[in-house]
């Protein structure tokens, strides 16, 4: 009985507390310095890890924000481009042709023009040397400003290009018609028959009697007419479709 009680009491005894520094024991300076260095190194490592973790979160957030802004800007640019009338690009090309047409030759001497020197200008005749060329040039400059406003405000102002097309065709079409079947056409053909040249060179020689300015102005005027004709046909089709839809709705009622 006595033995069992003693064992039970021994089992219930608490575990001995860990040894604590005994008061009055002095540590050396080297031990204290080593302990402080270890604590400082541990604290520095902890703060470095925390700072690195925070920096990564900030960078990820900034990256996601930049990607979101880029996507929004891309969608906005696509929407802006979708709202632009595609006919404005043709008008821009036509306006460039008008401007180039006034800066190129409207009259020039060719190698087969020896017999026509008295009737032809001895120097290049530029578009800006004429009144109509000056008007076309001024309207072309205004056309670029009108195109800027068209692109900016999603509108279609055509009157400057229509007026310029009238002047351009007024200059360009006679430049073509006066060449076909003329004496210069025949002289160019005979000249090319007497020289060694490719088929393309012989074919283009009579056409080269028409000055490059006439080619450019005629092409620009034709583009403007195509844009206007396309707009008229499109408007007529939409009007016809809306009329048919209105009639269908009346029948249903």
Predicted pLDDT at 32: 66
Determine the pLDDT at residue 55: 60
Please tell me the predicted confidence (pLDDT) of residue 88. Answer: 87
pTM over 0.75: no
**pLDDT at residue 20, as a whole number:** 44
pLDDT digits (tens, 9 = 90+) for 212-247: 999 999 999 999 999 998 888 877 777 777 777 766
| Spans of the chain below 70 pLDDT | 1-32, 43-58, 75-84, 112-124, 246-253
How confident is the model over 8-25, as pLDDT tens digits? 445 555 555 444 444 455
What pLDDT score was predicted for residue 170?
Answer: 95
Position 205 scores a pLDDT of 83
Confidence (pLDDT) at 64? 79
What is the DSSP annotation of the chain? -HHHHHHHHHHHSPPPPPP-PPTTPPPPHHHHHHHHHHHHHHHHHHHHHHHHHHHHHHHHHHHHHHHHHHHHHHHHHHHHHHHS-THHHHHHHHHHHHHHHHHSEEE---TT-GGGGGGS-SS-EEGGGSHHHHHHHHHHHHHHHHHHHHHHHT----HHHHHHHHHHHHHHHHHHHTTTTSHHHHHHHHHHHTS---HHHHHHHHHTTS-HHHHHHHHHHHHHHHHHHHHHHHHHHHHHHHHHHHHHHHHH-
């Amino acid at each position: 009985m006595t033995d069992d009680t003693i064992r039970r009491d021994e089992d219930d005894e608490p575990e001995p507390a860990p040894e604590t520094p005994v008061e009055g024991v002095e540590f050396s300076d080297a031990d204290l310095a080593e302990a402080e260095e270890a604590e400082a190194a541990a604290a520095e490592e902890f703060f470095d890890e925390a700072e690195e973790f925070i920096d990564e979160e900030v960078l990820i957030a900034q990256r996601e924000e930049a990607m979101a802004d880029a996507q929004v800007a891309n969608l906005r640019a696509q929407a802006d481009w979708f709202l632009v009338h595609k006919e404005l690009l043709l008008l821009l090309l036509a306006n460039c042709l008008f401007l180039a047409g006034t800066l190129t030759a409207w009259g020039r001497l060719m190698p087969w023009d020896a017999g026509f020197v008295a009737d032809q200008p001895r120097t290049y005749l530029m578009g800006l040397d004429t009144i109509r060329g000056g008007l076309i040039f001024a309207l072309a400059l205004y056309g670029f400003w009108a195109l800027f406003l068209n692109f900016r405000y999603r509108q279609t102002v055509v009157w400057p290009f229509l007026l310029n097309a009238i002047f351009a065709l007024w200059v360009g079409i006679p430049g073509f018609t006066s060449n076909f079947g003329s004496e210069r056409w025949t002289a160019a053909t005979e000249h090319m028959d007497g020289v060694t040249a490719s088929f393309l060179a012989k074919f283009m020689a009579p056409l080269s009697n028409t000055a490059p300015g006439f080619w450019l102005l005629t092409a620009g005027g034709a583009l403007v007419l195509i844009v206007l004709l396309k707009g008229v046909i499109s408007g007529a089709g939409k009007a016809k479709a809306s009329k048919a839809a209105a009639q269908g709705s009346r029948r249903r009622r």
